[in-house]
Amino acid sequence: MEDLEETLFEDFENYSYALEYYSPETDSEEKAPLGAIHWVSLVLCCLAFVLGIPGNATVIWFTGFKWKKTVTTLWFLNLAIADFIFLLFLPLYISYVAMNFHWPFGIWLCKANSFIAQLNMFASVFFLMVISLDRYIYLIHPVLSHRYRTLRNSLIVIIVVWLLASLMGGPALYFRDTLELNNHTLCYNNFHEHDVDLRLLRHHVLTWVKVIVGYLLPLLTMSICYLCLIFKVKKRSILISSKHFWTILAVVMAFLICWTPYHLFSIWELTIHHNSYFHQVLQASIPLSTGLAFLNSCLNPILYVLISKKFQARFRASVAEILKYTLWEVSCSGTLSEQLRNSETKNLSLLETAQ
C-alpha cells in the first residue's frame, strides 16, 4: 500500500497543480469526509452565489434596461456583468470541492470554467480600478472630465478592459487539463509533463503576472485615487459626507480582505515545487481564500450601487412605475372582461326575447 501511495505521489509531482488540493494519500479513502475549512469555503461560495446572483442581476436590469445610459451606469453595468458571469459558473466549483476535488464534467468544461472565472475575475478587478480613476478625475479635474469623459470614450475603455481580461484569462484555455488518478479526476494546470524547469518557469510567470496585474496594480490605483480624493476634497473645503468617506473605506477594505489571502496563497503555492512540507496547509487554505475572492463579487453591487441613495430613489420610482403599469393592465383586463360579460348577457337576453 505504501508503494502504491508513493508511486501516485511521484506521478502527481510530475504535474503543476496550481489551485489543486487533491492529495494522493487520501485517495485510498474514496469517501473521506471534507475538512472543516473546506466546508467553510463551500459556505462562502454558496453565500456569494445566493447573494451575488440576484444583487448583480438587479444592477444589470436597472443600469442596462431601465435607466438612461451615462458613463457611470456603463461602469456599473459592466462590473455587474463581470461579477454575474463570474458567479454563474460558481456551482461547478462548488461541486468540485463538495466531491473532494473530483471533476466529472470533462476537459472542455474544465478549460471553459477556468477561462471564464479568470476572464471575469480580471474584468471585475479592472472595472473597480476604472471606477476609482473615474471618480477621482470627475471630482478633482472637472475640465478634463468634461472634455474626455464621454460615452464614446467610456465604450472604448470598456472594450479595452474586456480584451485585456480575455488576454489574462487566455492561458487557462491552453494549460488547463484533466488527470485521472485512481478513479479520481483532477482539473489542474498542466504546465508541462516532463520538463521540470519549464513547468516551474510557467507557473512562476503566470502567478506573478496575476498578482501584479490583477491585485497590486488595482489596489495601488484604488488606494492612491481615493486617498488623493479625500485629501483634495479636504484641502479645497469641498463638503463630503461621512457616509461617502466610509463607503470609500469599505470598498478598499472589501478588496483587501477578499483578494489578499487568495494572492498570498498563490505565491506561497510556488514553494510546492521545492518543498511539499506545506502541502496540507495549502490544501486547506487555498479553497478558503478562493471562497473569499468569490465573496467580493456579491459585495460589489452592495457597496457601489445598492446602498446609494440615488439608486434607492430610482429603484423605488422604477418599482412604482412597474406596479402602476401592472395595475393598469389588470384594470384594463378587468374592464374588458366585464364588458364581454355584459355583451354576452345582452346577446342571451335578445335570443330569449326572439324565441
**Which pLDDT value is given to residue 7?**
33
User: So what's the pLDDT on residue 207?
Assistant: 92
Are the C-beta atoms of 169 and 115 separated by less than 8 Å? yes
> pTM for the full model?
0.77
Q: Which residues of 255-288 are buried (b: 16+ CB within 10 A; e: fewer)?
A: beebbebbbebbeebeebeeeeeebeebbbbbbb
Q: Report d(CA 350, CA 355) in Å as an integer.
A: 9
How confident is the model over 14-22, as a mean pLDDT?
A: 41
Q: Which residue has the higher pLDDT, 94 or 139?
A: 94
pLDDT at 240: 57
The answer to whether 290 and 41 have CB atoms below 8 angstroms apart is yes
pLDDT, tens digit, for every residue of 278-297?
A: 677 777 788 888 888 888 88
The sign one gets for the Cα dihedral 151, 224, 167, 18 is negative
Q: What is the mean pLDDT of residues 151-160?
A: 94
Mean pLDDT, rounded, of the chain: 78
- What pLDDT, on a 0 to 100 scale, did the predictor assign at position 47? 92
Note the pLDDT tens digit of each residue in 197-247.
888 888 899 999 999 999 999 999 998 988 888 887 766 655 555 566 677
Dihedral (Cα; 180, 184, 188, 191), 10-degree rounding: -30
With cell 498578482, the residue in question is: 211
Average pLDDT (60-75) is 87
Q: By three-state DSSP, how is residue 212 classified? A: helix
170-196: per-residue pLDDT in tens? 999 999 988 888 788 888 888 877 788
Q: Average pLDDT in the 68-90 region? A: 90
Specify the pLDDT at position 26.
44
Burial of 293 (0-12, 13-18, 19+ CB in 10 A): buried
Q: How confident is the model at residue 343 (pLDDT cuts 50, 70, 90)?
A: low
**Which of 53-67, 116-130, 156-170, 250-264 ranks highest by mean pLDDT?**
156-170
User: Is the pLDDT assigned to residue 261 strictly greater than 70?
Assistant: yes
